[in-house]
Amino acid sequence: MTMGAGAFSGKPVRRVEDPALLRGEGTYVDNLKIEGMLTLHFVRSPIAHATIRSIDASAARAMPGVVGVYSATDLAFPPAPALMTLRPGAVRPALAEDRVNFVGDPVVVVVAESRALAMDAAEMVEIDYEPLGAVVDMEDALSPDSPVQYESIGSNVMIGLRSGSDDPLAGADVVVRGRFENQRVAVVPMEGSAIAVDPTGADYDLTVHLACQMPHMIRGVLSGLLELEPDRVRVIAPHVGGSFGGKHLSAEGVVAAKLALELGRPVKWVETRSENMVALPHGRGQVQYVELGLKHDGTMVGLRCRMVGDAGAYAGFGGILVLGQTKIMAQGVYHIPEIAFDVGIVVTNTTPMGAYRGAGRPEAAAFLERIVDMAADELDMDPVELRRKNFIQPEEFPLTTVMGAEYDSGDYEVALDEALRISDYKGLRDEQAQRRARGDRMLLGIGLACYVEVTGGGEEFAEVEVHDDGMITVKAGTSAHGQGHATAFAQIAADQFGVPIEQIRYVQSDTARVARGGGTGGSRSVQLGGTAVLQTSKLVVERAKELVADILEAAPEDIVVTGDGSVGVAGVPSKAITWAQVARTASERGAPLQVQHDTERAGSTFPFGAHVAVVEVDSETGRVVPVQHFAVDDCGVIVNPLLVDGQVHGGLASGIAQALWEQFLYDADGNPITSTLAEYAMPSAAELPSFTTAHTETPSPVNDLGAKGIGESATVGSTPAVQNAVVDALSHLGVRHIDMPCTPERVWRAISDARIGTLPDPWREPRTEMAAFPKEGASEEELERGAESVNL
């Protein structure tokens, strides 16, 4: 086989990661054994909001195998890190100090010889709580009467801000209005949070094995919190069993690191599933008041959004996403000349909010695609035609949107046409009409979503070295936790060196072995890390060519990478030397064939697509079955279609799950009532339809690969497509909206309400507090916040 340019890139190369995983050779944190390692277990608050009157840990301390029991008063722990600060003063202590703010808040930590001993001892810790009233509902938290979480701030509103157009609906012939709940969901990675911290190594004060996405960033944060030199701390992200935006340095992780230093012994904390459901930050959680103004012919005139964002307890950073990604993507794929966007971000006595697959962009696509469908119903237009009429056109890119986003490239109509073609949209509509005419029990719903989202942005590091044996080590500062970078990056490098994939050794996720890096989040890795690998490989190849020109006494411009693992004179097979020889010569001459390189800062990329979801609704029971899903996702130039489809399939499962099944719920007192997988309705393969995926490829001009992110896109597109399909199935009955998740009971109620004429208005005015928020233009600070929140 001839290798070289294009031999691997773009091809469905099988994942090189899988054999080890399939053989059970994963390096997950809990598999790690370190001599003398202790285990932590946390005593967590069973009450959503309370002051801590007293803690009695004496019985626990006396238990066999217990090394120590600590509360915030026993040891000075540093605060839990916030990825982004919503408001100065809204800090989270690593262990609760005088009060607890959500069920699951860690209060006491037990250190013991084994996990079972730690759990037994934890049962013996007596904590006396004095309950305070809890605020659970994010809209209630807007009220000045809600029980305040931060006395020093005096309000549960962390950010209240009005921005944009003063009168976005002026000139509209028709205004459609909806109040949409984008419900709170749990991240549910297969592996929970996990950390092992070893203070006994010779080379580092602390070696941290952490299930996470961004080891270098976490090294910086952790060394700062513990007042250690960053180069005395090593952070390793071993195999990570999924993260989806969820796994960073947690409060528990800070406690583990502090205790390892304090005790001088390795310690480990591995979350149980029960803990994971309440301790790992949740995602989404917005209430969206949306009004869209249009002309009679369907031309969009303006959009007014008034949004409430739930930050959960301790001002979880996910609360800011409504002001970041949701706001910046509010315009979506359409020309909307005027947009007003008001936001209230509140703390509640619930699990803190964080990032979850899509992090603010699914919420934007969800409200926009919902309101567009409502408009199509109102104007009696086909939802396809209404969308088509308002699309931003291909020749307009690059384009700065009303919201200030710098869209790089796009062709929304091509993606839509492809989705309509592969789904046989016309045929589906015919079938729907026939079923309605026959009065079939099983109603057909066809849902459409056209989306654009934002990924990447920033810079990345790579290092490439050719060794004396011809092996090539590729390192990147991104940190895969399931995505398949070892495969994709090897493809990119192998093409530059004209070698088989097996000749590439990939190294990542270890601060001791990779000099620096931005980690993985916001679907940034191929576009930034892949570009870094590409550029660095090219720099190495350039150096090799010079060297070979010198050895072979030829002109450097005549030297090429051959297709069989050598470098030589173009068209003269006898005049070529292998990569091993090149590397040896380089070493002999005192400059090993190795290059470290950082890419220049690149702008964000804007993947887009069109999804068509098909559902059947049982009109007697309200049960919804997703029967088909057609996804056209454009992520620019594709490095590996197999990996892309893997990301799309996973994204579809997450997105469809939000539309139909998942919601994290609390009772009125703040007790979680979906904290096991029996109650939290995460679907399995049995519930999901077969996926039909397709791609248009519109290159991004902002990076050398022309690539855009794909890790989250399918989540962005699928949720509104499915929700729209459910509403579409019932639209002939007069139903205009059903909130997510579209559970059988909700759908049944909509059907029965429609039959007896008691359908509720999908609109009501938001709470009056929103109107009193200060008005701001798009300030620098906001835009920065928006940009910062890209990389989660």
Partner 1 sequence: MIPAPFDYVRAGSAEEAVALLVEHGDEAKLLAGGHSLLPLMKLRLAIPSVLIDVGRVHELSFIEEQGDEVAIGALTRHHDLETSSLLKEQVPMLPYIAHQVGDPQVRHRGTLGGSLAHGDPASDLPAAILALGGTLVAQGPGGRREIAAVDFFKGFLETALAPDEMLVEIRVPKAPGAGWSFQKFNRRAQDWAIVGVAAVVNGTTGIALVNMGSTPLRATAVEAAVGGGASVVEAALLAAEGADPPSDINASSEYRRHLATVLVRRALEEATS
> Rounded to the nearest whole angstrom, what is the least distance from the CB of residue 752 to partner 1 in the complex?
8
Using CB under 8 A, which of the segments 96-104, 362-370, 595-603, 741-749 binds partner 1? 741-749
Using CB under 8 A, which of the segments 9-17, 385-393, 408-416, 682-690 binds partner 1? 682-690
> Rounded to the nearest whole angstrom, what is the least distance from the CB of residue 679 to partner 1 in the complex?
6
Using CB under 8 A, which of the segments 29-37, 70-78, 160-168, 737-745 binds partner 1? 737-745
Burial of 296 (0-12, 13-18, 19+ CB in 10 A): exposed
**Which tokens in the block code for residue 359?**
């992090």
> Rounded to the nearest whole angstrom, what is the least distance from the CB of residue 656 to partner 1 in the complex?
13
The H or E element that residue 497 is part of is helix 485-497
CA 478 from chain centre, in angstroms, equals 15
> Rounded to the nearest whole angstrom, what is the least distance from the CB of residue 681 to partner 1 in the complex?
5
> Rounded to the nearest whole angstrom, what is the least distance from the CB of residue 379 to partner 1 in the complex?
34
Q: Is 674 in the site for partner 1 (CB under 8 A)?
A: yes
Residue (of 275, 253, 342, 360) closest to 306 by Cα position: 342
Using CB under 8 A, which of the segments 270-278, 393-401, 413-421, 726-734 binds partner 1? 270-278
Q: Is 683 in the site for partner 1 (CB under 8 A)?
A: yes
Burial of 765 (0-12, 13-18, 19+ CB in 10 A): exposed
Instruction: Give dist(CA 39, CA 305) in Å, integer.
Output: 48
> Rounded to the nearest whole angstrom, what is the least distance from the CB of residue 610 to partner 1 in the complex?
28
- Residue 543 or 749 with smaller CB distance to partner 1: 749
Across the chain, how many H-helices and E-strands are there? Answer: 18, 33
Q: Which of 12, 53, 232, 272 touches partner 1 (CB under 8 A)?
A: 272
The H or E element that residue 342 is part of is strand 338-346
> What is the DSSP-derived secondary structure letter of residue 526?
I
> Rounded to the nearest whole angstrom, what is the least distance from the CB of residue 29 to partner 1 in the complex?
17
Quick check: 69 and 107 in contact, CB under 8 A? no
- Residue 150 or 748 with smaller CB distance to partner 1: 748
Residue pointed to by tokens 């009696």: 380
Q: Is 661 in the site for partner 1 (CB under 8 A)?
A: yes
> Rounded to the nearest whole angstrom, what is the least distance from the CB of residue 365 to partner 1 in the complex?
25
Residue (of 648, 611, 656, 652) closest to 425 by Cα position: 611
- Residue 117 or 329 with smaller CB distance to partner 1: 117
Burial of 174 (0-12, 13-18, 19+ CB in 10 A): middle
- Residue 505 or 746 with smaller CB distance to partner 1: 746
Q: Is 684 in the site for partner 1 (CB under 8 A)?
A: yes
**Which tokens in the block code for residue 215?**
């080891």
| Contact set for partner 1, span 9-48 (CB under 8 A) | none
**Which tokens in the block code for residue 315?**
């001002």
| Contact set for partner 1, span 558-577 (CB under 8 A) | none
What is the identity of the amino acid at 627?
V
Q: Is 692 in the site for partner 1 (CB under 8 A)?
A: no
- Residue 407 or 691 with smaller CB distance to partner 1: 691
List the strands of the sheet with 775-776, edge to edge: 174-185, 283-294, 300-310, 338-346, 157-163, 775-776
The pairing of strands 92-93 and 99-100 is: unpaired
Using CB under 8 A, which of the segments 96-104, 116-124, 449-457, 532-540 binds partner 1? 116-124
- Residue 621 or 779 with smaller CB distance to partner 1: 621
Quick check: 504 and 472 in contact, CB under 8 A? yes
Q: Is 743 in the site for partner 1 (CB under 8 A)?
A: yes
x/- mask, partner 1, residues 577-616, rule CB under 8 A, reads: ----------------------------------------
Instruction: Give dist(CA 397, CA 412) in Å, integer.
Output: 12
Instruction: Give dist(CA 340, CA 302) in Å, integer.
Output: 8
> Rounded to the nearest whole angstrom, what is the least distance from the CB of residue 726 to partner 1 in the complex?
14
Residue (of 760, 774, 665, 778) closest to 137 by Cα position: 665
> Rounded to the nearest whole angstrom, what is the least distance from the CB of residue 620 to partner 1 in the complex?
5
How many positions of this chain bind partner 1 (CB under 8 A)?
Answer: 27
Q: Is 678 in the site for partner 1 (CB under 8 A)?
A: yes
Using CB under 8 A, which of the segments 213-221, 304-312, 426-434, 681-689 binds partner 1? 681-689
- Residue 120 or 634 with smaller CB distance to partner 1: 120
- Residue 69 or 233 with smaller CB distance to partner 1: 69
- Residue 192 or 609 with smaller CB distance to partner 1: 192
Q: Which of 11, 15, 61, 115 touches partner 1 (CB under 8 A)?
A: 115
Question: What does 183-194 look like in DSSP terms, one character per residue?
Answer: EEE----SS--E
**Which tokens in the block code for residue 561?**
């990478």
Quick check: 173 and 296 in contact, CB under 8 A? yes
> Rounded to the nearest whole angstrom, what is the least distance from the CB of residue 661 to partner 1 in the complex?
7
Instruction: Give dist(CA 349, CA 314) in Å, integer.
Output: 9
Cβ burial 185-201 (10 Å sphere, 16+ → b, else e): bbbbbebbbbbbbbbee
Q: Which of 167, 385, 745, 761 touches partner 1 (CB under 8 A)?
A: 745
Q: Which of 27, 31, 51, 274 touches partner 1 (CB under 8 A)?
A: 274
Using CB under 8 A, which of the segments 252-260, 281-289, 352-360, 672-680 binds partner 1? 672-680
Residue pointed to by tokens 């917005």: 286
Measured from the Cβ of residue 626, the count of other Cβ atoms closer than 10 Å reads: 26
Quick check: 189 and 202 in contact, CB under 8 A? no
φ, ψ of residue 627 in degrees (nearest 5): -105, -25
770 three-state secondary structure? helix
x/- mask, partner 1, residues 616-635, rule CB under 8 A, reads: ----xx-x------------
Measured from the Cβ of residue 771, the count of other Cβ atoms closer than 10 Å reads: 11
Contacts of 428 by beta carbon, 8 Å cutoff, 6+ apart: 444, 446, 612, 614
- Residue 673 or 771 with smaller CB distance to partner 1: 673
Q: Which of 120, 408, 510, 728 touches partner 1 (CB under 8 A)?
A: 120
Q: Which of 25, 673, 732, 784 touches partner 1 (CB under 8 A)?
A: 673
Q: Is 760 in the site for partner 1 (CB under 8 A)?
A: no
Q: Is 681 in the site for partner 1 (CB under 8 A)?
A: yes
Angstrom CA distances, 762 to 302, 662, 749, 767, stand at 19, 21, 14, 15
Q: Which of 123, 128, 550, 765 touches partner 1 (CB under 8 A)?
A: 123
x/- mask, partner 1, residues 695-734, rule CB under 8 A, reads: ----------------------------------------
| Footprint on this chain of partner 1 (rule: CB under 8 A) | 115-116, 119-120, 123, 272-274, 620-621, 623, 661, 665, 673-674, 678-679, 681, 683-684, 686-687, 743-745, 748-749
